[in-house]
């Protein structure tokens, strides 16, 4: 068995080179840019009012000004402002030449065609004016490479006239669930059978991680079937996640099937609980993971190894965060394995939950973090500082 740190290092050493593609802007939400995006224009490309009010020369603010016209948003005619005059102007409209300040409409008094500024100690030169290029300057980087394209980023790119972006290509993942004892939720549960839950939780957490192309397969404990499905998945998808069958029992066929399919084993078994039988291998640029079949073990291993990997590959925010917390209770364990306890985290304090067994999901459903007790420790005392992994 290897340590958690060794396992993480080996996985990171085998991250493949990413491919990229061009996408229409409206289809690019959730992707990550693979090159710098430059603005082709100054945005705004004219000096713009940020308020409904009156455009004037700041030096004239103490004068009675004659209102000589009106400039609505969208006006394409260039106006000129003479000394002693003002223009009625609206948000987003271009300032007339000669104007350098906009006074809010609530700060003026109108007498016929004349305007007087009511005492406004906050008025300064350039007030309520958006300079040319204040949001984006022509031929400069608007969004850097490896930036996550959020809704705001998509809106910003549209606002600078962008219609297409180069992004990292999406990853595809195959889930292969093994186990003759499994039945689908909704079917009759006979003696010796259990409802299959791993596809539900793993498909959900894969989507949360930014993976939308997921193919799920279900095979019984049959070596030839496992080998056939694995071989097919390796030709179709970038990452293969096998669930169950990774231990050393008579009906655990995943490790042998991987060898038969030409997968190079990088490691098998980690000094941790739950999830000790975790497996990782590669075939060319394909990544293959073997998760234990017990639901808590499978989900824990996903959060520990696969979620951080996906964040690195597709360059998007991770669904986990590491931090420290103060324990609310004492917890004992034996030296030798790192324990990941299902726990709750609130106001800087962490509390391990009941039912830590790897087959039990009810406590995981309550958990919002994993509490880490390192392999060389005998547990923790109350009010001790420990590492935790916050689950988003």
Final residue of a structural domain among 151, 168, 185: 168
CA distances from 67 to 48, 84, 109, 274 (A): 19, 9, 12, 76
Q: Quick count: other Cβ atoms within 10 Å of Cβ 295? A: 23
Same-domain check for residues 262 and 348: no
Q: Which residue blocks in 302-349 are alpha helix, DSSP H?
A: 307-314
List Cβ neighbours of 125 (8 Å cut-off, separation of 6 or more): 58, 100, 101
CA dist 143 to 31, 133, 150, 316, Å? Answer: 13, 15, 12, 15
Tokens representing 211? 């993976």
Q: Which CATH number belongs to the domain containing residue 367 in this structure?
A: 2.40.340.10
> How does residue 349 score in pLDDT terms, banded at 50, 70 and 90?
very high
DSSP 210: T
d(CA 115, CA 291): 75
User: Residue 30's pLDDT is what?
Assistant: 87
Cα gap 39→333, rounded to integer Å: 57
Same domain for 38 and 52?
Answer: no
pLDDT tens column, 325-335: 999 999 999 99
pLDDT of 56 reads 97
- Residue 251 has a pLDDT of 65
Look at residue 18 and tell me whether its pLDDT is greater than 90: no
Q: Render pLDDT for 261-304 as a digit per residue (tens, 0 to 9).
A: 999 999 999 999 999 999 999 999 999 999 999 999 999 999 99
CA 33 remoteness from chain centre: 13
Task: Determine phi and psi for 136, rounding to 5 degrees.
Answer: -160, 135
22 Cα distance to chain centroid: 20
Domain containing 79 — which CATH number?
Answer: 2.170.190.11
Does 75 share its domain with 178?
no
- The DSSP letter of residue 89 is E
Q: Is residue 342 domain-shared with residue 353, that is, in the same domain?
A: yes
What is the pLDDT at residue 314? 86
For residue 370, the Cα-to-chain-centroid distance in whole angstroms is 20
Q: Kindly report the average pLDDT of the chain as a whole number.
A: 95
Per DSSP, helices labelled H in the chain are: 4-12, 151-159, 198-208, 223-236, 254-260, 295-301, 307-314, 362-366
Do 335 and 366 lie in a common domain? yes
Q: Average pLDDT, stretch 221-235?
A: 94
Same domain, 269 and 154: no
- 75 and 189 within one domain: no
Residue 119 has pLDDT above 80, yes or no: no
- The C-alpha angle with vertex 14 and arms to 337 and 340, in degrees rounded to 5, equals 20
Which range of residues forms the domain containing residue 89? Answer: 48-130
| SS3 state of residue 45 | coil
Residue that finishes a domain, picked among 314, 333, 355: 314
Q: Give me the CATH number covering residue 273.
A: 3.40.980.10
Dig out the tokens for 75 from the structure: 């006006």
pLDDT band, residue 250 (cuts 50/70/90): low
Q: Is the pLDDT at 180 greater than 70, yes or no?
A: yes
Q: What angle do CA 307, 312, 316 make, to 5 degrees?
A: 85
**Spatial CB neighbours of 73, under 8 Å, sequence gap ≥ 6:** 90, 91, 92, 93
Both structure tokens of 358: 């790897």
Same structural domain, 195 and 310: yes
Q: Does residue 193 share a domain with residue 291?
A: yes
Please give the residue that has the higher pLDDT: either 30 or 156: 156
Q: What does the alpha-carbon distance between residue 231 and residue 51 come to, in Å, rounded to a whole number?
A: 63
Q: How many residues does the chain have?
A: 392
Same domain, 156 and 179: no
Domain count of the chain? 4
C-alpha dist (Å) from residue 339 to 64, 270, 376:
77, 11, 10
List the end-to-end C-alpha distance of the chain, in Å, as a whole number.
Answer: 29
- State whether 217 and 300 are in the same domain: yes
CA 120 to each of CA 24, 49, 89, 91, 92: distance values in angstroms, whole numbers, following the listed order: 47, 18, 18, 20, 22
Residue 232 neighbours by CB under 8 Å, 6+ apart: none
Strand-pairing partners, residue 54, are 88, 103
Q: What phi and psi, each to the nearest 5 degrees, are found at residue 342?
A: -65, 130
Q: Is 186 left (phi over 0), alpha (psi -120 to 50) or beta?
A: left
Reduced to 3 states (helix: H, G, I; strand: E, B; else coil), residue 34 is coil
Same domain for 185 and 162? no
- Chain centroid to CA 1: 32
Report residue 359's pLDDT band, with 50, 70 and 90 as the boundaries. confident
């Amino acid at each position: 068995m290897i340590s958690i740190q060794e396992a993480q290092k080996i996985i990171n050493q085998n991250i493949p080179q990413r491919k990229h593609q061009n996408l229409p802007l409206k289809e690019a939400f959730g992707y990550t840019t693979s090159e710098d995006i430059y603005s082709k224009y100054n945005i705004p490309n004219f000096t713009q009012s940020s308020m409904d009010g009156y455009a004037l020369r700041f030096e004239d603010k103490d004068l009675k000004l004659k209102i000589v016209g009106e400039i609505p948003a969208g006006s394409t005619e260039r106006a000129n402002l003479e000394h002693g005059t003002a223009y009625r102007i609206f948000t987003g409209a271009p300032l007339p030449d000669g104007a350098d300040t906009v006074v809010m409409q609530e700060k003026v008094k109108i007498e016929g065609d004349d305007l007087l500024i009511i005492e406004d100690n906050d008025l300064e030169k350039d007030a309520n004016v958006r300079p040319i290029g204040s949001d984006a300057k022509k031929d400069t980087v608007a969004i850097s490479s490896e930036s996550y394209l959020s809704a705001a980023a998509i809106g910003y790119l549209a606002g600078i006239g962008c219609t297409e972006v180069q992004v990292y290509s999406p990853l595809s993942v195959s889930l292969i669930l093994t186990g003759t004892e499994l039945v689908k939720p909704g079917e009759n549960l006979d003696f010796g059978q259990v409802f299959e839950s791993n596809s539900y939780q793993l498909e959900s957490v894969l989507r949360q991680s930014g993976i939308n192309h997921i193919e799920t397969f279900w095979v019984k404990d049959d070596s030839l079937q496992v080998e056939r499905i694995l071989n097919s998945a390796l030709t179709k998808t970038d990452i293969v996640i096998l669930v169950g069958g990774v231990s050393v029992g008579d009906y655990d066929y995943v490790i042998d099937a991987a060898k038969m399919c030409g997968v190079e084993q990088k490691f098998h078994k980690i000094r941790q609980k739950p999830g000790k039988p975790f497996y990782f291998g590669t075939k060319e640029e394909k990544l293959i993971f073997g998760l234990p079949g017990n639901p808590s073990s499978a989900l824990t291993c996903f959060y520990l190894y696969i979620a951080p990997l996906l964040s690195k590959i597709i360059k998007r925010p991770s669904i986990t965060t590491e931090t420290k917390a103060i324990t609310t209770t004492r917890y004992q364990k034996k030296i030798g394995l790192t324990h990941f306890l299902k726990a709750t985290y609130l106001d800087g304090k962490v509390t391990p939950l009941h039912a830590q067994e790897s087959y039990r999901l009810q406590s995981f459903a309550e958990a919002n973090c994993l509490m880490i007790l390192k392999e060389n420790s005998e547990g923790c005392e109350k009010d001790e500082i420990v590492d935790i992994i916050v689950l988003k």
